[in-house]
Amino acid sequence: MIGCYVTGALPRSSELIRKTRAYERGRINKKELEESFEKATESATKAQISAGLDYITDGMLKWQDLFRPFTENLKGVKMGSLTRWFNNNTFYRKPIITDYVKREEDVVNNMMQLEKLPKNLSWKAILPAPYTFVSLSENQFYKDKAEFMFKFAEVINEEIKSLAERGFSYIQLSEPALVYEPLAPKFKKDKLALVNDVLETAVKGTTTKTCLQTFFGDFSKISPQALDFPVDHLGIDLYETDFEKLKEYSFEKGVALGLVDSRSSLVEEQDELVAVAEEIVEAIYRSRVEEVFICPNCDLDFLPLEKAEEKMKVISTVTKRLREEFP
Amino acid sequence: MNKFFPTQEVGSLAKPRWRIKGYRGKPLSKEEIAEAVSWGRKLGIENLEELVKLLSEGDSASRKGALLEWSAKYAIRFFETAGLDIVFDGEQWRSEMYEHVIRKTTGFKFLGNVKSFDYRYFNKAACIEKPKYAKSFYLDEFLFTKENTEREIKVPFTGAYTLVDWTFNEYYEKKFSGEIMDFKRRKFEAKREFLFDLIKEVIRPEISKLVDAGAKWVQIDEPAATTNPADEEMKLFVESFNETVKGFNCIFSLHNCYSNYEVLANHACELRNCSQLSLEFANRDSRQVGTGNARTGYKAIELFEEHSFKGNYGLGVVDVHSNFVEPPELVRDRILHVVKTIGDPSRIYVSPDCGLRTRTWETSFQKLKNMVLGAALARKALE
């Protein structure tokens, strides 16, 4: 089966950007801002539907960064200073851990607008993976980093279950930190074993499909260990991953191929993407082709909305063409 | 300089309201005009009635140009009055460090706002054809500054690596799409060619004009220098700096802030013809006076020393993101602490962490004045 979806936040429209600026300058009130978010969310889901994506997200337009719902709503976590988001010219607020991390209520629910999601299509939600959250937080409390990681995995586990109850059937765990290590090219086996166990905790007893989406780094560096991670699908950033090394591995799980570059405004040539996807799928599936998703390599909100919409159409067209190749 | 601890600014100063609104052609309130007059008196600006008359006039191209000159004159005098040894015009002619250059260069198209953080965004351009020099972007402001000050001038200049890192690279990525199959390699090679074309076609021609016009010192601003800390990228950054400054009869320095100094220190001694590293420390430092343990924010300087950087430091002793006005004694101790660390007072220039554009003129003025007083105290302590 070949499908497609987005892998992160969509860009805010110029209209919504105008409104958020006006709100910050005190020119409009919270209610007007909320209305703008609602309208923009509706457009964001419509854009995904009209592009023909198989799973629909709410666009995550309110998320100031991947961690923010957790930074704001978890007990024991405070909001720290602005920090560079990997090698991008964007910034997140560093979560500061000052006490036992505790989930007292739904974390991402108040960021979501479920009524804007289509009833007849499948829903996807995106959460930070425990390793990434813990690596990018400032831990002032837990003596043992692994303990903190397992604790956060429990939080994620509860979130996944709560999202499943609300109708989500696909959960992506975003895991850039595991592959982005520009200064330490060697990945330690014991670290990957720990991540494996942490993911077990995160997905234990859940019923949705799960994907560990890696980006900003080379997936082949965490292989072959990552191929056995306890998730249904593995997401790969093809703009950071060495193709030849990737093709050396044999996959028994589904993959989400980050075939479109969210950090470039150049709209990709479909022929080339189809050829690359075919080559990779044929190489990594020696016996039988598992589920394959075509997606952007990371959040599309690195782009202005118009470009992001063009790129969503590209992934959809490429998916259709691949379905003919791999029926 | 024939004294220790010369004082300098780093670049931007806030634009006064009469400059912003006036430039947009919006009518000014009495208070805004009064503000112009009051600062003008404080700074000893001549012919203030001429400015008042201009501010009351309707919008026109010549009025816009005149307003740029007036606000530049104010900023120059602002720095002089605060007592700085090395000055510029507070970047009053520039909309902002990125857009100003890109708008005046051929080959780019602005695509719209993309997120920076929270409800902040920046207007990001794409390179859609080979960049070409269209008109000078810094020359006029340099000439104006030169005419209006007797002090030493340092021209802040947005570096090529940062311009490239903040721009979508459509033209070159497309160009390489048939040639290199691996996406990562393709993007890197496309970035490299974009960078060196920009240096050759745009950056060096402008430096050349500045040098011909008498510029003696250009500060290359590279906030993006360590955004990509991988070795290959850092080498590219170093190469771009060296190529930018190669062969000019001029002093160059590098300003880099809110960055990863561990990474920069690793490569600092590979920078050629870089007489000074202007770095930010004050924002990370304690506010207690004293040297030694109190100076938590200045630890990073040891990294540069360990990696044998031999040039001067533009030592950030004033936090540009806080309204706290550093007492002269605190400035003094920050300087004296670094004197102890590096052992050579002649390598220290004293400056704010970065441009002061986010502070009011009142706060900036107090901060700079105390910075100058602190440098004098440090000099005295060494006598």
| Residue-wise pLDDT tens digits, B347-360 | 999 999 999 999 99
Pick from B173, B183, B188, B319 the residue to mutate for testing the A interface (most A CBs within 10 Å).
B183
Contacts of A241 in chain B (CB under 8 A): 184
Query: Residue B181's pLDDT is what?
Result: 87
SS percent in chain A: helix, strand, coil, step 5: 45, 20, 35
ipTM of the complex: 0.95
Minimum Cα–Cα distance from A275: chain B residue: B181
pLDDT at A45: 97
Global pTM reads 0.96
What are residue B250's phi and psi, to 5 degrees? -165, 155
pLDDT for residue A309 is more than 70: yes
Extended strands (E) in A130-277 = 138-139, 168-174, 209-213, 233-237, 254-260
Q: Which amino acid type is present at position B166? A: W
Report pLDDT for B13: 97
**Residue A40 CA to its chain's centroid (Å):** 20
| Per-residue pLDDT at A62 exceeds 90 | yes
* Nearest CA distance, A254 vs chain B (angstrom): 22
Given a cut of 90, whether residue A317 has pLDDT beyond it is yes
Which residues does chain B have with pLDDT short of 50? none
The answer to whether the CB of B89 falls within 8 A of the CB of B105 is no
B227/chain A closest Cα distance in angstroms: 5
- Tell me the per-residue pLDDT of A136-150, one tens digit each, with 9 for 90 and over: 999 999 999 999 999
d(CA A63, CA A78): 16
Q: Which of A204, A36, A173 is nearest to B119 (CA)?
A: A36
| Residues 6+ positions from B264 with CB-CB distance below 8 Å | B225, B226, B256, B277, B304
- Predicted confidence band of residue A187 (pLDDT cuts 50, 70, 90): low
**A34-55 pLDDT, tens per residue?**
999 999 999 999 999 999 999 9
Q: For chain A, positions 288-327, list CB contacts with chain B under 8 A.
A: 301-307
Would you state the pLDDT for residue B211?
A: 98
Question: Above pLDDT 90, what percent of chain B?
Answer: 96
The pLDDT of residue B128 is 98
| CA gap A271, A264 in Å, rounded | 18
Q: What count of CB pairs under 8 Å joins A to B?
A: 94
Nearest CA in chain B to A88: B227
Q: What pLDDT band is residue A178 in, cutting at 50, 70 and 90?
A: very high
pLDDT tens-digit series, residues B205-251: 999 999 999 999 999 999 999 999 999 999 999 999 999 999 999 99
Shortest Cα distance, chain B CAs vs residue A118, angstroms: 27
| Paired tokens of B258 | 């809110």
The pLDDT, as a whole number, for residue A168 is 97
Q: What is the pLDDT of residues B10-34, one digit of tens each?
A: 999 999 999 999 999 999 999 999 9
**Chain B: nearest CA to A296, how far in angstroms?**
14
* Inter-chain CB proximity B168 and A265 less than 8 Å: yes
Q: What percent of chain A has pLDDT over 90?
A: 92
Q: What is the pLDDT of residue A186?
A: 62
Judged against a pLDDT cut of 90, whether residue A262 lies above it is answered with yes
Pairwise CB contact (< 8 Å): B181 & A11: no
Per-residue pLDDT band at A185 (split at 50, 70, 90): low
Token pair belonging to A180: 């982005």
